[in-house]
Amino acid sequence: MEGWDPTTKSTLTQIPLLTVKAGPRDGAAWTQRLKEEYKVLIAYTSMNKSRDNDWFRISAANPEGTRWTGKCWYVHNLLKYEFDLQFDIPVTYPATAPELELPQLDGKTHKMYRGGKICLTVHFKPLWAKNSPRFGIAHALCLGLAPWLAAEIPVLVDSGMVKHKDDAVSTSEAC
């Protein structure tokens, strides 16, 4: 955690670590892991809300808990930019981190792969590998998606690649 800002350190130390080492192919153990994932996500969401830092909503999109969908948002210049968020749990989870996707931003930045998968290879994947299986979905959001949004969204907005929803409405009304 060397070189991290104090807020990130504080947040990370308060997100519970997971104890069940199981992936989608592990039957009853995966069900236990999934319960743990939900508990950690609830704790992380509650912590964010208590700090007035609520920035995502996700839920499992299938009963097996292998597909997740939701929304994430980032506030820049006092405007809220909201994006669809989706990801699949890899069959090799928790050894492999999920690939977080923001489909609306596909092709708008070089720090993204085809399909809107955000680039996490350089900074996040080694950290995940070092902390697997204790890290889970909440950790991927905190240490993967949150810093990516903070680094990329201001640049995308300032360059005009991303427009605020109110700008799009006022532009269409003017025509």
What tokens does 150 get?
A: 């903070």
Contacting residues for 139 by C-beta, under 8 A, at least 6 apart: 12, 15, 128, 131
Backbone angles phi, psi at 170, to 5 degrees: -65, -30
C-alpha 56/C-alpha 58 separation (Å) is 7
Q: Is 175 a catalytic residue?
A: no
Q: Could you say which DSSP state residue 26 is in?
A: S
Say what angle helices 6-14 and 28-50 make with each other, to 10 degrees: 140
Backbone angles phi, psi at 79, to 5 degrees: -120, 135
C-alpha 102/C-alpha 83 separation (Å) is 6
10 Å Cβ neighbour count for 90? Answer: 15
Contact call for residues 106 and 119 (beta carbons, < 8 A) = no
- Residues classed as catalytic: 119
